[in-house]
Structure 1
Amino acid sequence: MPVALKRKKKDGALYQRPPKIEASIEVLEPIEANARLSRFDGVAKKHSEYVPTEVLVHFLRGAWAKGERGEFEKIFRILLKRVDQSLRSAIWNSRIGSATDIRDEIVSRFVVLITKDCASQAGLLDFYEIHFDQAMVALRTSVLRKFKAIAGDMITVPLGSQEHDGREVSPEVEVALEAFLGGDPQKIDDPTFRLVLFSAIDRLPEDQKRVIGLLLQGVPIDAKDQDVMTIARILQCDERTVRNRRDRAYKALKAVLEKEAEL
């Protein structure tokens, strides 16, 4: 049985891992450390044997608590590798700073958090054992705010941050959105409209939401320059597929927005 988490919710109840995470931990706990490590690395996320990152965090903390420094370092490297891969698909060069600087800051803060968690045993990483991606979104958002404040400029906040109402949209995206804004792209400045729009985006099918999310981060659909990261390259599909997904998303969003306008 996995060790219970320590942090508590506002109502006083202890944090609880999702059943899927608990079950994965229970399966892996009896396995010898090296065999378990081989399960952590080199398995594609869509593969049935992929181990959720929440589970890696659990065994990372456990290795430190048991004094297994060699195991800790190996899990630590695998964990940072996953974080780096995730950040490379989420953070791009922008007006507020270089992608490398921003990613380095995020990784640095995450490492500091791990260090503090190991030193204090206060449960600082508990939420990372529950919803790792959500926790990383919060961390990314915090770092982006810092860079935005330094640059004195605006940046698109990643989808999933729960901060839809304050989000800026680049001029390029405003042009793209005009297709379903009824010829009035200035609507995007209306806070109420923005809330409805981004809530609708969150309800899109995952393939369409990823395209819209990347558009909102200013990533181009396609480019002749092979060094330019594009939506087609990120999603590993052709440019026509991306545009079809975008058009389907626009159609769905337009229906939602037109229905809202009738209320």
Structure 2
Amino acid sequence: MPEPLKQRKRDGTSYERPPEIEAWLKKLETMEVAERLRQFATQSRKSIGHVPSEALIHFLRRAWTDGKQGDFEKIFRILMKRIEQSLCLVVSDSCMAGARGIREEIMDQFAEQIAKDCKGCTGLLDFYEIRFGKAFAAFRTSALRRIGPSAVDTVPLGTDEEDGLEISAEVEAAAADFLGGDPEKLDDPAFRLELTAAIDRLPDDQKQVIGLRLQGFQIDSKDKDIMTIARILQCDERTVRNRHDRACKALKAILQEEMHNDCRTILKTQ
């Protein structure tokens, strides 16, 4: 039986893995080690037998606890390859200046999280066994805030959930300003492409503000330990807000123009 998780919720009850993850763990426990590792190496989510990352985290931690260094290193390499692939989608070279270095920094910081968990920070990776995509998206956002990228060309409008790209809460909140209070539009992949193209058309100073805003950065904060857009761009709050407001106004106009053009194209084809 898989060992219960150690972290507890605010009400004192223990965290529990979803039933589908528990089922995966029980199935994988019955396999020979070599077969289990072979199945772990299946990278594509569309492939039959693709093992969810929650299970990889579980067996990675178990290999360390059991002193199986060879198994630990193999699972670690497979997991980090998955993380690298997801980061290439979310922190891509076409979306962010210095993306490769940022990806490497995030991966290094995540490797440190694993090391801390192995060295006795009990329960540090528990939530990764429950919802890996959500846990890593939060970790990535926190890491980006610490790194504080100062140059953003465009931004990815999704997170790397196990079932595909999912719009993050930060993106929905930030995008509400120029979506007319209708963040559900972001569910449409075609609209996300239009929005990304619209952001590309903004002046550089406005594009930086919108890019950082969509990564979850605050415009300003009284807390000096929080990395904000004003601090990243080294300008005052009013300047950032003015750029943000001009960018939102421009995006609304661009998106409305695109919508009208699409309507005219449809009418011409009928």
What TM-score, normalized by structure 1, do the two folds share?
0.64
* Alignment partner, residue 58 of structure 1: 58
2:58 and 2:129 in contact (8 A); partners too: yes
Equivalent AA in structure 2 for residue 151 of structure 1: S
Give ranges in structure 1 of 5+ residues lacking alignment: 170-186, 221-246, 252-263
2:185 and 2:191 in contact (8 A); partners too: yes
Equivalent AA in structure 2 for residue 197 of structure 1: D
How many angstroms apart in 2 are the aligned matches of 1:219 and 1:77?
38
How many angstroms apart in 1 are the aligned matches of 2:119 and 2:102?
26
* Alignment partner, residue 126 of structure 1: 126
Q: Deviations over 1:37-62 (max 9, x none)?
A: 00111353112311101100000000
2:56 and 2:75 in contact (8 A); partners too: yes
* Alignment partner, residue 182 of structure 2: 197
Equivalent AA in structure 1 for residue 150 of structure 2: A
What's the secondary structure of 1:128's corresponding residue?
helix
* Alignment partner, residue 4 of structure 1: 4
How many angstroms apart in 1 are the aligned matches of 2:152 and 2:53?
33
Match status 1:140 vs 2:147 = no
1:141 and 1:157 in contact (8 A); partners too: no
Task: Mark the CA change 1:145 to 1:104 in structure 2 (over 3 Å): closer, same or farther.
Answer: same
Q: Which structure 2 residues correspond to residues 1-263 of structure 1 after superposition, within 5 A?
A: 1-42=1-42, 44-93=44-93, 97-148=97-148, 151=150, 156=155, 158-159=157-158, 160-164=167-171, 167=174, 188=178, 196-198=181-183, 200-201=184-185, 204=187, 208-209=188-189, 211-213=190-192
* TM-fit CA distance, 1:144: 2.3
1:156 and 1:216 in contact (8 A); partners too: no
2:43 and 2:82 in contact (8 A); partners too: no
* TM-fit CA distance, 1:6: 0.7
Give ranges in structure 2 of 5+ residues lacking alignment: 159-166, 200-254, 260-270
How many angstroms apart in 2 are the aligned matches of 1:218 and 1:68?
49
Question: RMSD of the TM alignment (CA)?
Answer: 3.3
1:154 and 1:168 in contact (8 A); partners too: no
Task: Mark the CA change 1:129 to 1:218 in structure 2 (over 3 Å): closer, same or farther.
Answer: farther
Structure 1: 4+ residue segments shifted above 6 A: 152-155
Equivalent AA in structure 1 for residue 73 of structure 2: E
* TM-fit CA distance, 1:13: 1.6
1:92 and 1:98 in contact (8 A); partners too: no
Task: Mark the CA change 1:29 to 1:212 in structure 2 (over 3 Å): closer, same or farther.
Answer: farther
What's the secondary structure of 1:45's corresponding residue?
coil
* TM-fit CA distance, 1:167: 2.7
Q: Deviations over 1:145-176 (max 9, x none)?
A: 2344x52879747534322465369xxxxxxx
> Kindly, what percent of the aligned residue pairs are identical?
40
How many angstroms apart in 1 are the aligned matches of 2:45 and 2:101?
27
* Alignment partner, residue 244 of structure 1: none
1:25 and 1:55 in contact (8 A); partners too: yes
2:87 and 2:103 in contact (8 A); partners too: yes
What TM-score, normalized by structure 2, do the two folds share?
0.62
1:156 and 1:167 in contact (8 A); partners too: no
Task: Mark the CA change 1:2 to 1:117 in structure 2 (over 3 Å): closer, same or farther.
Answer: same
Task: Mark the CA change 1:22 to 1:127 in structure 2 (over 3 Å): closer, same or farther.
Answer: same
Alignment size in residue pairs: 195
